[in-house]
Each structure stands twice: as structure tokens, then as C-alpha cells.
């Protein structure tokens, strides 16, 4: 990764908590970084450790789990 390249972040977010905040930011026209991709789950308790490992194997630089 070069100095100008942004790290790719994959975020697993809870539908009722973290995703609601991201959605509110979008409705309020607040921009958040484009190098962060959200995956909405019904609950972060649904996250299997295999999902996290697979993300890294696919080349993601960082993973965030937010509830």
C-alpha cells in the first residue's frame, strides 16, 4: 500500500445500533470515508470468527465489529 492509498476497512454493524448511526449520518449529509464498507447484521452476536478471517484473506486491511 502506498502512502496515498487508503486502507480498506470492512465494518460489521448491528442493524439497531451502529447502522442506525451511519444511516443518520447519511440522512444528515455527513460524509464518511469511502474506504469503509458496511455489512449490516441483525445483531453483532451473529458475527462468526470465520467472517473476520475471510475478510483478511480477501485482502481487507482492517475489520471493525460495532454494536
* pLDDT tens readout for residues 7-38: 999 999 998 888 777 767 677 787 878 898 99
For residue 32, the model assigns a pLDDT of 76
CA-CA distance, 49 to 28, in Å (whole number)? Answer: 33
Annotated domain spans of the chain: 9-66
Q: What is the DSSP string of 30-58?
A: ----TTEEEEEES-GGG--HHHHHHHHHT
Report pTM: 0.79
β-bridge pairing 62-66 and 9-14? parallel
For residue 2, the model assigns a pLDDT of 60
Amino acid at each position: 500500500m502506498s502512502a496515498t492509498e487508503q486502507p480498506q476497512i470492512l465494518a460489521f454493524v448491528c442493524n439497531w445500533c451502529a447502522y442506525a448511526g451511519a444511516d443518520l449520518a447519511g440522512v444528515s449529509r455527513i460524509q464518511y470515508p469511502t474506504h469503509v464498507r458496511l455489512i449490516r447484521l441483525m445483531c453483532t452476536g451473529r458475527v462468526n470468527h470465520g467472517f473476520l478471517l475471510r475478510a483478511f484473506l480477501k485482502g481487507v486491511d482492517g475489520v471493525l465489529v460495532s454494536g
